[in-house]
Structure 1
Amino acid sequence: MQIISSEKNNFAKILNNKWVQHISYWIFYLLFFAVTWGSYDMNFKKTMMVELINLPAKITLVYWVIYFLFPKFLYKRKIGKFILLFGISLIIVSFTQRFTDNYIILKYYLKEFEVQPIFSYVQIIRSSINLGTVMAIPFILKLVDHVNKVQQNEQLLVREKLEAELVFLKNQVQPHFLFNTLNSLYSLILKKSDQSLDVILKLSELLRYMLYETNSKSVDLQKEVDSIKSYLELEKIRYGDRIDLSFNIWGDIGLNQIAPMIILPFIENSFKHSTKGFDGNAWITIDLGIKNNELKLNIENSIPQSGSDQESIIGGIGLQNVKRRLSLIYPENHDLKITANEDSYSVLLNLKLR
């Protein structure tokens, strides 16, 4: 059982050592009861010998229960079998103590006491109570240790599940984004546009960021902003002057970190829906800043009349994906408001950065 969490010093290692803990308990038990019973006639040597004679049976019972009955039955919630076998074990050890009491202890050490029948139920109950005193502390400690391990395992499973889900969600974002960008590149190649080379260059920068920078739990906010700039350059090449784009950055970006690929899906979503049923008059405004370690993101975009399907605007793999990631990574540290009107769509995200 771990008493001190630190393992960096020898004292902690000694206290946490299993053998040291067990030997210390039995020494303390012997000394406590030898002094307690010995104070009656101040013959501590005699009471020490009496406790030593009964000690093997007590040790056997304690370790039989905590290392066999507990894991075999109690931990597996086989309560009936555990109670039955524990009762049988207690009775057997109680009878064993009755023999040692009558034929060793009362005969050689406590001659002043009267010998009682071995099968006296009163004496067996007294022996059982006596055994209870030695079992109480090991039983409680073992149960507490087991409960702690179960809770730690449950927390570990939950954490591993969340981490696996986050990896899955992040891996969903990248192919989704890549698919859209490749579509843009394909259309430019078909048109034999010279801008296709610029798209390849910007796309390589984004892919480098996605492959090598987003594997960690957090990245520098500046790197995330740089990836957004590369994405915006791609979209400018794709749409040219047909979209009125405004991108404003304010505050001290460089001193903060953020979970990777959190902001980009919102921006990608704004391009997707401002150009749905594109009529050549689209606009997008992006305002990104930092105030008191809190990221404030405000994105607004136009919605063409031919593409103002509210349900499809609010849905989508990328947007649902990033909502889930926000709930997992920043459960109590973000506020997301999405508003879809007839002719405009807005995203307001306040995110407390670690």
Structure 2
Amino acid sequence: MKLSGKKYTGNRFISAYEVLVWMLYVGIYKYSMLVETNWLPRTRGYFPFPQLILYAFFLTLYIVPYYRVIGPWFLRKRWHWQLVLVSILYFIFVPKFTNWACTWLFAHGSTGEPLLSYYQRRLHWFTMGLHNRMLMLEDLLTDILAFLSVMFMRYAFENEQKRHALEKDNLQLQLQTLKAQLHPHFLFNTLNSIYGMSLTGAPETPDFILRLSDMMRYVLYDCSTHQVSLDKDLQFVSNYLEMEKKRYPQANIQFEIAAEGAGHKMIAPLLVIPFLENSFKHGAHRITDNGFIKGLLQLTDNQLELTLSNNVLFTALPNQKQYGGVGIENVQKRLTLYYPHRYTLHINSTDSLYAVHLKIQL
């Protein structure tokens, strides 16, 4: 799910739910309650009184400031007891005056029978009700239940939206941290390798300098967005592999990239590289000639699949860091954020082998 550049889908859902409440509850239920009164005749020439639908909507407008402004404001402040007190005062006094004012308008704006008599009788009833402490408690209760559901659902979706935005910002900061960690660790080692190549006069030295330049440009500029071209991301992986192969020429490194049509796909940046970096950082190839790193990164239709394994020299040091660490945890969170229910990640870690199998539905 891409959050940037798109309106959060929960806003559309809650708007549709709010419209549905107004249509079903106010337009049908409250209208039926108004029609069922004994003050209206059931003769063929009058029923079904479509004007009463409009009247039902006007009678319910009093609750809009409450569930749209007042209630959400107290909820955001987390003033729950204050909200209860304000709600009691609001529903005791506000509906009385708004019902009276709305009925007065309809009584003076209607000229035909029997609605004129109907509005006049209701106006008299509301006028008498202004002197009472409670008015139509049963009708108010249904209004409260219907629109409190809208208010609390809107509040819940707003909190979820804020949580997603906060998680996105947090993961973006983690991505920046990951890039900052990648810079010195990888840059210094690569520069040392290129320096050694230049001392021996290796003819491929300019090529590796160009590869390093492309990689730094990708990390600094292209990775500043939430989505990058899959072709560029895979080119970064390819350059990284070539650099590491140069650092460990005796190691058994077999990694294949098969991604035809990657130029037309988009992906969140730097999802694959933490797994590769861990393989080169913790793999046994650094110490023994028997070390290996084997992997396959392939694109099939819209699915990107990574298979990676390497052997590990296990040493039970007291302060030894967990294999993978923050980098892998960051990738898992970003996968959950950008590809919910569209990826699978299996990591098998033993004392001698570390294997990763990742599938992403782009």
> Shorter-normalised TM-score: what interval?
0.5 to 0.7
Using the aligned pairs only, state the percent identity. Answer: 20
Q: Deviations over 1:215-270 (max 9, x none)?
A: 3433333322211111112112323x222221223464536443221111111111
- The residue that corresponds to 1:67 in the other structure is 65
Q: State the structure with bigger RCO (CA 8 A, min sep 6), 1 or 2.
A: 2
Q: Which amino acid aligns with 1:244?
A: N
Structure 2 CA distance, aligned partners of 1:237 and 1:89? 78
TM-score calculated relative to the size of structure 1: 0.64
Structure 1: any 5+ residue segments left out of the alignment?
6-15, 98-108
CA contact (8 A) 1:337 1:347 kept: yes
Answer with 276-285 or 305-314: which moved more: 305-314
Query: Quick one: structure 1 residues 119 and 220, their matched pair in 2 at CA, closer, same or farther if it must change by over 3 Å?
Result: closer
- The residue that corresponds to 1:159 in the other structure is 164
TM-score calculated relative to the size of structure 2: 0.63
Alpha-carbon shift at residue 271 of structure 1 (Å): 0.9
User: Pick from 171, 179, 182: which aligns with 1:177?
Assistant: 182
- The residue that corresponds to 1:319 in the other structure is 328
Structure 2 CA distance, aligned partners of 1:236 and 1:69? 63
Structure 2 CA distance, aligned partners of 1:137 and 1:72? 19
CA contact (8 A) 1:199 1:234 kept: yes
CA contact (8 A) 1:310 1:340 kept: no
1:320-335 mapped onto 2 (5 Å cutoff): 320-332=329-341, 333-335=343-345
Q: Which secondary structure does the structure 2 equivalent of 1:314 belong to?
A: coil
Query: Quick one: structure 1 residues 281 and 307, their matched pair in 2 at CA, closer, same or farther if it must change by over 3 Å?
Result: farther
- Which protein is bigger by CA-based radius of gyration? 1
Tell me whether 1:128 sits opposite 2:135 in the alignment.
Answer: yes
User: Pick from 256, 265, 270: which aligns with 2:279?
Assistant: 270
Alpha-carbon shift at residue 174 of structure 1 (Å): 1.4
- The residue that corresponds to 2:210 in the other structure is 201
- The residue that corresponds to 2:39 in the other structure is 37
Query: Quick one: structure 1 residues 289 and 85, their matched pair in 2 at CA, closer, same or farther if it must change by over 3 Å?
Result: closer
Q: Which secondary structure does the structure 2 equivalent of 1:151 belong to?
A: helix
Alpha-carbon shift at residue 67 of structure 1 (Å): 2.5
Query: Quick one: structure 1 residues 68 and 217, their matched pair in 2 at CA, closer, same or farther if it must change by over 3 Å?
Result: closer
Alpha-carbon shift at residue 36 of structure 1 (Å): 7.5
- The residue that corresponds to 2:88 in the other structure is 83
Q: Which secondary structure does the structure 2 equivalent of 1:242 belong to?
A: coil
Q: Deviations over 1:303-334 (max 9, x none)?
A: 34679999535143323322332333334321
Structure 1 CA distance, aligned partners of 2:230 and 2:164? 25
Answer with 244-253 or 63-72: which moved more: 63-72
Query: Quick one: structure 1 residues 89 and 154, their matched pair in 2 at CA, closer, same or farther if it must change by over 3 Å?
Result: closer
User: Pick from 236, 248, 251: which aligns with 1:243?
Assistant: 251
Q: Which amino acid aligns with 1:176?
A: Q
Q: Which amino acid aligns with 1:128?
A: L
Q: Which amino acid aligns with 2:210?
A: L
Query: Quick one: structure 1 residues 118 and 85, their matched pair in 2 at CA, closer, same or farther if it must change by over 3 Å?
Result: closer
Q: Deviations over 1:106-135 (max 9, x none)?
A: xxx79xx9xx999989x959x933x976x6
Q: Which secondary structure does the structure 2 equivalent of 1:39 belong to?
A: coil
Q: Which secondary structure does the structure 1 equivalent of 2:280 belong to?
A: helix
Query: Quick one: structure 1 residues 88 and 213, their matched pair in 2 at CA, closer, same or farther if it must change by over 3 Å?
Result: closer
Structure 2: any 5+ residue segments left out of the alignment?
1-11, 13-18, 75-79, 103-116
Q: Deviations over 1:171-190 (max 9, x none)?
A: 12212221122221443476
Q: Which amino acid aligns with 1:152?
A: F
Give the superposed CA RMSD.
5.2
User: Pick from 225, 236, 241: which aligns with 1:227?
Assistant: 236
Q: Which secondary structure does the structure 1 equivalent of 2:287 belong to?
A: coil
CA contact (8 A) 1:294 1:350 kept: no
Query: Quick one: structure 1 residues 293 and 307, their matched pair in 2 at CA, closer, same or farther if it must change by over 3 Å?
Result: farther
Q: Report the number of matched residues.
A: 307
